[in-house]
Structure 1
Amino acid sequence: MTPTPLLRRPAALFRGAAVVLAAVLAVLTVQAVPAAAEEICGQQVGGEILVKYDQMGRQTSPLGCPTSGELVTPDGRGRYNTFEHGSIYWTPTTGAHPVWGAILDKWGSLGWEQGDLGYPVDDELTNPDGLGKRQEFEGGTVYWHPTLSNGAHPVWGEIGRLWGEYGWESGPFGYPTSDEGWDEDYKSIYQTFSSNNSTLFWSAGNGVEGCTGECVGYSGTAGTDWFTETRVEIPVGSGDVVVRAYPTESGFINGRTDFVGAWNQIWSMAPYPNGVSETEHRSMYEQFACHAAFSDQIFPGEWNTQDSWDLESWRADIGMEDALDPILFLGHWCNWD
């Protein structure tokens, strides 16, 4: 069964509250009597780890035979048994959960339970597409797909929150194809996704107008004949949106007469931003038409409307007639107050 959307939000957003709640529940909940240890394949398996192993089918499960007795994790908080093809980890607050395959490898590379992901809080689940897998941990969720994800990757924090708002792996960005990285040019943390060469990002502030303070956003760089990139910046807590469309030479030229065609091309590269009102939509389209109509080549490769056509949702809806008035253009250059 697919979890509710709340459960699929990256757990790092709620980690502090979850730890406190789990501690309270651990005190208030009457614990079941643990299963007595049994020798299986020459190793002792007991307690809730044995219960989980039983549920999975013991030696016929994907884990196979145990290869160790019960061990204490380095932080002293949990217990685990290793098996031929994975492990089962247990803590009083998370319960017992198996980890195996590419998700286990990624979790291990990030420091096991002592890394940012913490302990598993659920078993591995199959995604709605029937092919991809995911597993939730205290600090985030690790996703894997046999062909789309380029291995297993964790998603968490503000990037995970934004990705979830657009439908997770079933949405327009698809699966994560990398871990988080650092973009020095934009002073932001970024993560790549499988659809349209998408990148999602978070910045504490990089000085660019859409990200003078904390911001999130996304970029599509699959490219069309007329555009190389559509970048959407969302200042956190403001409700504003900044769109930057990067035209090719054909885009500068053809956009002058085909506003609609150019507009459709930028949104073939990235999803239209959520939460934009009708008034904001009209304003951004008017700004776009203005940039397209009045773009002019100053020198080879240099245009008067800069490298990108910037659309800012907070600009007024002035109507298309005024947006395309050549006299008014000289006063606002498509970014009016």
Structure 2
Amino acid sequence: MDASRTRVPRRLGPVAAWACALLLVTGCTGSGRGSDGAREGGTAQAAAPRAANDLQADYERVIKDVLPSVVQIQAGDSLGSGVVYDGKGHVVTNAHVVGDRESFRVTTASSEGAVAARLVSSYPEQDLAVIKLDRLPDGLRAARFGDSAKVAVGQIVLAMGSPLGLSSSVTQGIVSATGRTVTEGSGGGGTGATIANMVQTSAAINPGNSGGALVNLDGQVIGIPTLAATDPGMGDSAAPGIGFAIPASMVRTVAGQIVEDGRVTDSGRAALGITARTVVDDDYRPAGVAVVEVSDGGAADDAGMRPGDVVVRVGDTGITTITSLAEALASMAPGDRTKVTYTRDGDEHTAEVTLGEQ
């Protein structure tokens, strides 16, 4: 038997005895305090069902308000979800939901049949895309997007979409963390994008939820559910209760540009202006990022970097892979100045770089 387990009853014993003694003293007073205590207990017991009923009513209200803004998207043989962006039939979703297709079939929460839609533009670098319905079905409603700055850990959230093809499904959880930088896999339909400031949630995110809505109890979309964490120790199966959503601020930025200009004109994503690959050391461990090509007039070019250089650090962050470089840049913005440490012919160099835009 584990010795640590045998200590638990002995530690709890005195506490339990003390609590019983306290109850005996309170119960033996026979005064009005005992009656008040009974009444207070009854009040607390009555308040608990009321609180539960209030929360349930909030859930039902939010679901009723938001589901008309969440659609199912059929892209060939694949299914995903989307959120109605405006009253003109624009729908925002994930780039990996639309893939390389140009036309889609969209089913709304209230429509009996599918509506045709076409691609406006896809932006795989942020895993977002906008499609437009050929016509506006009855009951369609544009979503209200929340303020990403007000999203806080512990907030109750609902994930709405079409997991596994089950349209208009709802799961619940909380905001588990904010400000996560996550890199998608490039297999299985993912874009391989590195996305900063993602909202982590315990609400179940399953295949088909991608592109749907992560909603607070004010009925505002605070994010677009995009992926679930995987556990390499379990054959890359989904890790329960760890999902990620693109924050509403980024959704509005990207979708707004696509709706207005037909494409993303200002990504807000920092870039070095290089084409690169991961290199390994003598033990076949990732050891840096080798520059394959330098863009003319880009940040690296202006800093004097050239093909063959191996980037090993950006600022104070060590760089071993393409992914770690993307994650380091994801926390910065175009125009930021940072130090880039690289090796050339075995010698280490440091350059001051003004980051460009991806």
| TM category, shorter | under 0.3
What is the TM-score when the length of structure 1 is the normalising length? Answer: 0.26
What is the TM-score when the length of structure 2 is the normalising length? Answer: 0.25
The structure that has the greater radius of gyration is 2
More relative contact order in 1 or in 2 (CA 8 Å, sep 6+)? Answer: 2
